[in-house]
Chains A and B, each alone.
Chain A
């Protein structure tokens, strides 16, 4: 393991301390617990939006708390869910009577704890809480049957769900309406990733799996979950085309559709490479008659020092497009 850290036991705590030092105008914490991060400014009467999840994915999840997006994030240890009590603490802090919406990725540990936190908020404080569980990773499972719970993992595409729901809440829409928007965004976003190297959890000190020097794993999850295809490393254009094929066939798309695209680095892949992929995505989509409304390129959801990247696409309609265009100001995402 080669990381610029102090005692691995303090990895998350010290990262959080740095966040509060760097962004005092945007975020603070509640309940005397640095893991209970909330927006510095509370907007009265607005639906509160809380997320949460394990550390190791910055800017996810806490990086989108601020103005125009999320109001709170409970922060767990690396790749571990925060506790229900921490989620409950931020829920109390951000509720201003309009209720709270939880938006988080589809992982059992997170689901159990968010459900428990919602019950605590209802049972102890009479706060109305609704939840939207995001599962955008097309590689993790097939589409779920109508009415059936999705088994797809949540990955970088949750950024779009945060943005649409955050804008809806900033427009002072009701809890039910913000939830409807979040569900709609979630239903229209798909992500596909590729990993080139493993990542190392600081307290473990060594990789949990390996990928040979000249190989890649298409569809690997952001905690190293097994992907759909392991093979020789290919060119940027070939990899991009394969990933887009999986995304596009899943929705499906037709010529004339409009999308927002997120090209996301997993931690150790350069921006140069991400822009090389961006170039190919643009050509591939143009050939299919799919119009790109906006490209977002950079690190939005990482997996420690994993090399690799993901492509997420949000299929737009007029409502989602308008919500995506609204301004936001958070530690890791600023849009004028």
Chain B
């Protein structure tokens, strides 16, 4: 796959964030300041615009540039974390103009690593990671078994959704939700919802 696939993937993410803008606002209004729907739809729109107009065929540079565009558009905490994911995926794939299925999977693990490096959260802290981590594990396992990418994407999207739905069993450690202490436990995490939407967009991009 070449850069046109990455452009398509970013378009699918942009579209799903726009469709779920109000859903994310509603979720975030419970635990945060309610702007997550805006930052995610604006941020991934900026990332896609940068990717769409990107001239070079280097997939890594394309991802890095999209991430930078996102960080400039939405310098909020979650905006910067998502931008860091794209930029790290860009660093890992720098110099590649064609990528294999395994390298597509690598985009998501590098994305997750970028978010971890920036935010210093761990799996189980009731964050984005609790949605993305099971998805990355499912995708890697599927690719290793030699399944078609579409099958891996489907499993990854399902795993992210399960991960998100399980966040209402976790105690918040970071951000404004953490100030609620034990009362935060039964709430769903909006960051993990973003992970679920990214993986659903990935599934859409392969179909």
Which residues of A are in contact with B by a Cβ distance under 8 Å? 76, 80-86, 108-109, 112-113, 115-116, 119-120, 123, 149
Contacts and interface: CB of A to CB of B under 8 A. Distances in A.
A83 B72 CA distance: 5
Band of interface residues on B = 10 to 19
B91 interface: yes
A83 B77 CA distance: 10
A112 B91 contact: no
Contacts of A119: 87
Given A86-B72, A108-B175, A113-B80, 12 more contacts: A81-B80, A83-B72, A84-B72, A85-B68, A85-B72, A108-B174, A112-B84, A112-B118, A112-B119, A113-B75, A115-B118, A116-B118
Contact of A116 (B71, B91, B120): B71
Given A85-B71, A113-B71, A116-B83, A80 B76 contact: yes
Nearest to A74: B75
Going nearest first, the 3 A-B pairs with the smallest beta carbon separation are: A83-B75, A112-B80, A85-B72
A109 B75 contact: yes
Nearest to A225: B179
B27 interface: no
A112 B81 contact: yes
Interface string B110-123: 00000000111000
Contacts of B175: 108
Contacts, number: 47
Interface string B66-98: 001001100111001101100100010000000
Contacts of B71: 83-85, 113, 116
B75 A82 contact: yes
Given A112-B81, A112-B118, A123 B91 contact: yes
Nearest to B81: A112
B119 A120 contact: no
Contacts of A123: 91
Nearest to B94: A123
A123 B94 CA distance: 12
A76 B75 contact: yes
24 contacts: A81-B76, A81-B80, A82-B75, A83-B71, A83-B72, A84-B68, A84-B71, A84-B80, A84-B83, A85-B71, A86-B72, A108-B174, A108-B175, A109-B76, A109-B77, A109-B80, A112-B77, A112-B118, A112-B119, A113-B71, A116-B71, A116-B87, A116-B118, A119-B87
